[in-house]
Amino acid sequence: MRILGIETSCDETSAAVLRGSGDAVQLESLVILSQDVHRIFGGVVPEIASRQHLTSIIPVIDQALGDAGVTLAGLDAIAVTHAPGLVGALLVGVAAAKGLSLSTGLPLVGVHHLEGHLFATSLEHPSAVPPFIALLVSGGHTMLLDVSAWGRYQLLGATRDDAAGEAFDKAAKLLGLPYPGGHHLEALARDGDPTRFRFTRPMLRRDQRLGDDDYYDLSFSGLKTAVMLAVKASPNIAADAAHIARGFQDSLTETLAEKVARAVRATGHTRVVLGGGVACNRALVSAVQQRAGSGVAVLAPSPRIATDNAAMIARAGLYHAEQGHWASLDLPATSGATIPGMRPR
């Protein structure tokens, strides 16, 4: 089966063509157009994002088809992100997918953005298939899942306030770094002294036990406050910035790593798969590997596959197409939705 994927949930306009069946897939093309205009405002402006998608969506799809050397007639289905995300941005991708489906007769698959991130790493690591523990870490979401099979997800824990990616961006802004700040802060932290600013590891206590409400849960709002106070108290922020960045990153990554290690011990899984924009942070990958142990494979995507992209949507769409999970032309675009197949705690 050959499938076209479309992704417009936030500020990346992306299209991809993927071919294969089951877990044996080949990515034939991937086009990602990022909207640099948002850097002026220090964050994504929804109305601007929607308008940028409108001008880019057809050229991006045409480029993806051209790179793959196929036409619409050579496709078997169209997969599109329909939730969650910025509604205006989602509507552009969903409308484009519906239009193509209506005009060509190609069947349509609606894909949950976060489920796409669960599939993403398998595009580069064929062994990143269930069963595994998944850590989804992005600008809008942070959650820990037990993935026993594709389409069967058990929620273990999630952030109670800010997502990990949001915390990275906010901390970077406090340190005067450009938006998006994650990779800038990571680079700055490499020169930091880990002993200068040791921030509390949020929601980690020695007396926590399996079954406690906060055993797997996360919280980063207090960590952001701690960074803000450290910046304000610094007599020379230029000299302290790298050390504060290192202290922040160590706190966040070590907290995430411990939560993952707890899930590994509880389930006995020997694979950990990271997904989302923060998943390519090398300090995070290293911390998770160290805590999980040598007998556990920690699989993380490259920056290109970690970011919002249509390849992961096509991959998740292929799974749902093979299961016969087709969407109708009244497929909604919605800002919030539960991952299909996810069981709550």
**Selection from 204, 189, 151 nearest residue 321 by Cα:** 151
Query: Has residue 310 got a pLDDT over 80?
Result: yes
Paired tokens of 190 = 């490499």
Query: Has residue 28 got a pLDDT over 80?
Result: yes
Contact between 111 and 323 (Cβ < 8 Å)? no
Statement to judge: residues 208 and 294 lie in one domain: yes
Average pLDDT over residues 134-162: 95
Statement to judge: residues 294 and 314 lie in one domain: no
Statement to judge: residues 148 and 223 lie in one domain: yes
341 Rama sector, left if φ>0, alpha if ψ -120 to 50, beta otherwise: left
Share of the chain above pLDDT 90, in %: 86
Q: What is the DSSP letter of 72?
A: G
Sign of CA dihedral 220, 225, 244, 208: negative
Query: Has residue 219 got a pLDDT over 90?
Result: yes
DSSP H or E segment with residue 306 = helix 303-306
Backbone dihedral angles phi then psi of residue 93, each to the nearest 5 degrees = -65, -45
Spell out the residues 6+ positions from residue 31 whose beta carbon is closer than 8 angstroms to its own. 14, 15, 16, 60, 63, 64, 67, 310
Q: What is the DSSP letter of 124?
A: T
Query: Has residue 205 got a pLDDT over 90?
Result: no
Q: Which of 45-49, 51-55, 86-90 has the highest mean pLDDT?
A: 86-90
Statement to judge: residues 288 and 207 lie in one domain: yes
The total number of structural domains that make up the chain:
2
- CA gap 317, 276 in Å, rounded: 17
Statement to judge: residues 185 and 143 lie in one domain: yes
What is the predicted pLDDT for the residue at 30? 98
Statement to judge: residues 322 and 223 lie in one domain: no
Statement to judge: residues 208 and 286 lie in one domain: yes
What is the predicted pLDDT for the residue at 211? 87
- CA distances (Å), 9 to each of 88, 156, 191, 259, in order? 9, 25, 34, 28
Paired tokens of 225 = 């406050």
Paired tokens of 305 = 């596959």
Statement to judge: residues 221 and 317 lie in one domain: no
Statement to judge: residues 177 and 286 lie in one domain: yes
Domain region containing 63: 2-118+306-343
What is the predicted pLDDT for the residue at 207? 87
Q: Where residue 302 falls among pLDDT bands split at 50, 70, 90?
A: very high
Average pLDDT in the chain: 94
pLDDT in tens, 157-186: 999 999 999 999 999 999 999 888 888 999
pLDDT in tens, 232-285: 999 999 999 999 999 999 999 999 999 999 999 999 999 999 999 999 999 999
Statement to judge: residues 334 and 248 lie in one domain: no
Q: Where residue 140 falls among pLDDT bands split at 50, 70, 90?
A: confident
- CA gap 256, 16 in Å, rounded: 31
DSSP H or E segment with residue 275 = strand 271-275
Q: What is the pTM of this model?
A: 0.94
CATH of the domain at 79: 3.30.420.40
What is the predicted pLDDT for the residue at 47? 82
Give residue for tokens 């087709």: 326
**Selection from 50, 63, 57 nearest residue 90 by Cα:** 50
Statement to judge: residues 150 and 286 lie in one domain: yes
Q: Where residue 220 falls among pLDDT bands split at 50, 70, 90?
A: very high
Statement to judge: residues 195 and 218 lie in one domain: yes
Query: Has residue 70 got a pLDDT over 90?
Result: yes
DSSP H or E segment with residue 342 = strand 342-343
pLDDT in tens, 85-139: 999 999 999 999 999 999 999 999 999 999 999 999 999 999 999 999 999 998 8
